[in-house]
Structure 1
């Protein structure tokens, strides 16, 4: 069997493709059992974030095409549209990739911690629906441990480089001093919370936070000192916003062209800086074509992020070494698992022989036979039966020196001492 990771990410696919493959938690719970029901797939997990969608499978060798074909069928997409953006990693490469993803080494923002939480959520869903087995369990536990070691032993997460940081820097470049500016944040996840924190550090004039759940909005406003509003209030408050940053899970845009056009008209030429961090996108793409509108997506922020990652390069080298070490550990564990079934069978055969000889010896003892004689007879009979198959095979391969040499080594035969 093979361990396989198939998918696409910000490195291989633009947002227009990535948003087609987005799953939320409820969709994952429906999709995973169907993926796992494919003949030859023993275990499976799906990771879906704004920057990647990946299928993790333990499956029979030779079935590597099945996961991507299932994905295309499930989402009603043309497989030829997906293939140019897909990567397929097996065994050692799959393990190393999983550990790098969990540690943030494969992220748009190298070392960012959000991906670890997203990986844990994906794993939790796989556990809930019963598609994660021994191998995915071990892989995820190793990914979590590796991430913890890297964050403890290196400075991978110390430099202030993040999508949230980049969005704030862009806002300052467009509006300058933000003391008299107003920001509208849509969403209350980790990324938008970071945005709120960065914006508050610029002494921005006002922040409004809109989210489906008011209690979560209030957690964000505690960070930045802003006010909460309902999602339905966005059209009313959009005209007040100089900066709009959105990251919510939605199938349809939260901010349409018509709403944006009306708000910009009411602002009488004052620009709005839009940042759409959602996948699928939260803001209609055509909003970016409006006069006095500056629309950036998560992919547009790559340039700023990449220009600020130099400080993490040394830490990344250390982190990659840790990943390599932990990958070797997993592969050693996997080797042991592959041979365990044979060891267990061999042990069971030996125990069966032993139990039969013990029963024969007990019957003799109940008849009153001499104890020492019974024990010695049992020992001889048992040793002969235990070595019968190995000695027969040694005779069978007597003229094959290489096989014979390996067999002697495996059986631990000490020729010199005899």
Structure 2
């Protein structure tokens, strides 16, 4: 393992990763004195991570590069409950098969951004079902529950806000924070983990883990939270007008991933370059300060760097080439994301409305019609005014455009 990097906290602060720390001086000393094992938790609620998780993955990437071991905790057990933090309702209940499938999909993002393995310097994936599934209720109350008062738990913003809005909060959700505290202590015992990372909404949960270790005479634990990210136009990071911006290529093409960054708000360019690329900060500041048309080149750098990290250099080059060909030269590119249409369905009178709804490119038939009314539907640059008319049989290879920024190549299948 390489020697831990000096002034890691300064680097992370400069790039915008730090919101709060439990003991900054103590954590800084620990990070500069030797390897500090850190963990970040993910509940398996979907079969891919999305851009909203990328901040945490990049933070762990910097820590791994600095020589600190990483634990990636997937909540195989806690996913069955769901973190109630700042939610108005309970999560849908998932069965074991769904959770296992989601865990497999989530692990794909880990391998993309981090070096995984059981040897020094590599990140390890762990599942809290290993210790929570066999934990008896009475034992849990004795070892964990007795260290926390209901009075204090009710003061946490995540709990209080839910109750103030008179939304139901189940007993199992109420106990989620104690399970997360127990996770931290258990990871400290099993792997020598002394640092928990999380979003700003996890602050209370992290504090509980630090406090539980202290009350059980365990090791000194630390917490570090990241700012909750929203785009400058107020949207939650990880979402777009078309839905979640997934990290896995089987959920979102490299081209669409590239386009997400290329089309970001001008005000977000500098911040995103600092968080989601590994460019030196002097270059980040230079690019972020560009104005007018020059800022578009900074956005292309952002799109290229994020896509190269997430999908590889070849996919990045293809995505950029497809975008430049489409928007700069007006030519067709076979590197566009594909949308499949059935030949049999075409013969039976498949409409564009049918195609867009069935493939999930639009949420409803009325959404398709609204897009057409606004002039946003085109096939090979020909505006489609009535999406309910049967499509041409000669659709193979056509370019389907949804608005100015979403473009697909139509592929016919048997």
Same fold (TM over 0.5): no
- TM-score, normalisation: structure 1: 0.22
Query: Relative to total residues, which structure has the larger helix share, 1 or 2?
Result: 1
Scaled by the length of structure 2, the TM-score of the pair is 0.22
